[in-house]
Amino acid sequence: MKRIFSGVQPTGNLHLGNYLGAIRNWVRLQDEYECIFCVVDMHAITVWQDPAELRANTREVTAAMIAAGVDSERNIIFNQSQVSAHAELAWIFNCVARLGWLNRMTQFKEKAGKDRERASVGLYAYPNLMAADILAYKATHVPVGEDQKQHLELCRDIAAKFNHDFGAEVFPIVEPLIFGEATRVMSLRDGMKKMSKSDPSEASRISMTDDTDAIARKIRKAKTDPEPLPDDMAGLRERPEAANLVGIYAALNDSTVEQVLGEFGGKGFGQFKPALADLAVDKLAPIQDETRRLMAEPEFVDGILRKGAEKARDISAPIMAEVQEVVGFLRA
Ligand code: TYM
């Protein structure tokens, strides 16, 4: 059976990268797969989170997911900390994964920065928890943006080593699903850097809560080069900022980069940027309105998370019982 698991951290507002790289793809996959979508609050606390803000952000990210079209009736939507299987399986994976594997994780190196000694142990072990998220449900497919690819390779390694060490085919080897024209949305200030919640510059990202003016201003100020847009893909090579904006346009417009260049090739950014700003506002405004409406009903959002957590526990409980048996934990 095909089962999807994916997650998003409640560390502040979602941005356009989260939407185009992940959440919009989730909406498309929900017709085809059984889907479990998780707001990963336990991942969020690998770096300091103000407790009140964490709670508020957990609700807001849930609301934004639903507003973007993730169907809470058909899918399971819940926050990670409500299902203890994640922490339990993560501990077992801490004992399966090797230090050498985690030492290769580029995201830890980026997030920990120069002063690694001061990073939390959780930040280092984060990919093991991510593998536990997925495998606690024996999910087979994981839709993510490009930046999570390395973590999913680790998840495959952990599943294979667990199965091998215990001589049992317990876990599937997951398939990443990375697709669309915006698998890696870049910063609006630097085409070589990923759009990210942790970038100190607000102007580097379009947040899903930005109003019309903010969206238009950020796109107008986005870094570009002086050349007009090229007629074909080859002309975007060595032009990361232009490639990024064209990719964003294509993704928002449900077209391809070639089609966008067919329309805008030869035109300057003076023409392209206002068209992109209009398109972004057009596509994001309805999601923002619906997010705001849902945020005014916190009990409704909490109810979805509560029901989702119950269903998630029902799926993970027999899997955890199997894992405990295989590992040799005595259930007296
Ligand atoms: P997070 O919260 O950083 O991002 C959520 C999703 O958004 C994608 N994404 C992007 N896609 C394109 N361009 C970007 N600039 C961009 N920035 C983020 C991410 O790839 C992700 O799909 N570790 C994960 C959360 C997680 C998870 C999981 C995902 C925890 N457990 C299990 C899948 C399966 C993370 O920090 O995502």
- For the stretch 176-224, pLDDT in tens is 999 999 999 999 999 999 999 989 999 999 999 999 999 999 999 999 9
Q: Distance from the CA of 15 to the center of ligand 1, in angstroms? A: 11
The DSSP element (H or E) to which 9 belongs, if any, is none
Parent domain of 226: 202-293
Report helix, strand or coil for 220: helix
Instruction: Name the DSSP class of 229.
Output: P
Tokens found for residue 171: 């876990």
CATH code for position 41: 3.40.50.620
Task: Report residue 140 as tokens.
Answer: 């087979």
183 CA closest ligand 1 atom index: 12
Burial grade of 269 (CB within 10 A; 0-12, 13-18, 19 or more)? buried
Q: Are 173 and 52 in contact (CB under 8 A)?
A: no
Q: Tokens for 88?
A: 């339990």
In terms of domains, do 114 and 161 share one? yes
Closest ligand 1 atom number to CA of residue 194: 15
The confidence score (pLDDT) of residue 270 equals 96
Residue-wise pLDDT tens digits, 319-330: 999 999 999 999
pLDDT at 12: 82
Q: Distance (Å, rounded) from C-alpha 9 to C-alpha 58?
A: 8
Distance 144 CA to ligand 1 centre (A): 6
> pLDDT averaged over consecutive 10-residue blocks of the chain (332 residues)?
95 94 97 96 97 97 97 97 98 98 96 93 98 98 98 98 98 97 96 94 95 96 96 96 98 97 97 98 96 97 98 98 98 88
Nearest CA to ligand 1 atom 18: 18
Q: For the chain, how many structural domains are there in total?
A: 2
Mutate to test the pocket of ligand 1, among 33, 148, 190 (most ligand atoms within 8 A of CB): 148
264 Cα to the center of ligand 1, angstroms: 31
Beta bridge partners of 186: 194
* Residue with token string 């930040």: 123
Residues 287 and 314 in one domain: no
5 Cα nearest atom in ligand 1: 34
Same domain, 160 and 16: yes
Residues 174 and 267 in one domain: no
CB 319 within 8 A of CB 137: yes
My answer on whether 36 and 56 are in the same domain is: yes
Task: Indicate if 264 and 304 belong to the same structural domain.
Answer: no
Pick from 141, 133, 146: nearest CA to 178: 146
Residue 160 belongs to some domain of the structure: yes
> Do 174 and 287 belong together in one domain?
no
- Share of residues in the chain with pLDDT > 90 (%): 97
Amino acid 153: pLDDT: 98
Query: Which protein residue's CA is at the shortest distance from atom 9 of ligand 1?
Result: 18
User: What residues does ligand 1 touch, defined as CB less than 6 Å away?
Assistant: 5-9, 17-18, 21-22, 40, 43, 130, 133-134, 142, 144-145, 147-148, 183-185, 194-195
CA dist list (Å): 84 to 61, 154, 162, 166, 313: 21, 22, 20, 23, 8
Atom from ligand 1 closest to the CA of residue 15: 17
CA of 17 to the centre of ligand 1 (A): 9
Instruction: Give pLDDT, residue 13.
Output: 85
Regarding whether 268 and 235 lie in a shared domain, the answer is yes
Handedness of CA 101, 105, 108, 110 (dihedral sign): positive
Same domain for 307 and 168 = yes
> How many Å lie between the centroid of ligand 1 and the Cα of residue 82?
20
The residues assigned a catalytic role are 111, 194, 197
Establish if 196 belongs to a structural domain.
no
